[in-house]
Amino acid sequence: MDKSASAMKKILEYICERYNRLVSEGVSELEELAIGTTVKRMDPSMIEEINQGRTNPLKPASIERTLRGFKKQGYLEPIPTDSALFIPTDKAFAEAGIERAKGVGAMLSRKPFDVPRDKVHKNVECRVCLIVDGYLPEENECRHCGALLLELDVL
């Protein structure tokens, strides 16, 4: 195993262990369990903890690139309330060889969006931004640009 793969595995192990540690301490807010994946959103203590015991410390930009790769590989998933914060997936725990602590993460697994079936949604194309989205009859503004939606625009 080369050095970069070893560093990536150690970062993945750190993320999973951090998640389990926080869950065991009773943290239940996803925002507190999640990590930022950019240098601006990363907690400085996270960088220090990853580099703890390393003779050649990783630069924050290197850690950021590694976390970006984890997102692409499906090891990190965004939390519903803030798409810039991520928690480790079950795949990450399996790859790291760590058992996931029972907590909030189980609730985050992908579930179908619960749409009230007593109301009829209609697909409407916005005249300004040209994005098609589903709207309830009482909605009359585009979610993306705020333009007025007309009944003529229903597809």
Same domain (yes/no): 11, 29: yes
Contacts of 60 (CB under 8 A, 6+ apart): 39, 42, 47
- The contacts of residue 155 (CB under 8 Å, 6+ apart) are 122, 123, 124, 125, 132
122 and 104 housed in the same domain: no
Q: Is 145 found in the same domain as 96? A: no
* Chosen domain end from 108, 125, 140: 108
Total domain count for the chain? Answer: 2
Same-domain pairing of 97 and 120:
no
Q: 9-52 pLDDT, tens per residue?
A: 888 888 888 888 888 888 878 888 888 888 788 888 888 888 88
Q: What pLDDT digit, counting tens, does each position of 94-135 carry? A: 888 888 877 654 444 444 555 556 677 889 999 988 889 888
103 and 124 share one domain: no
102 lies in which domain range? 3-108
Residues 119 and 143 in one domain: yes
- My answer on whether 49 and 81 are in the same domain is yes
- Where a domain ends, among 108, 127, 144? 108
- At residue 5 the predicted structure's pLDDT band, cuts being 50, 70 and 90, is low
Q: What is the CATH number of the domain that holds 50?
A: 1.10.10.10
Task: Looking at the structure, tell me whether residues 8 and 77 fall in a common domain.
Answer: yes
Judgement on whether residues 58 and 127 belong to the same structural domain of the protein: no
Query: 60 and 12 in one domain?
Result: yes
Q: Outline where DSSP puts E strands in the chain.
A: 35-36, 76-79, 82-88, 122-125, 132-135
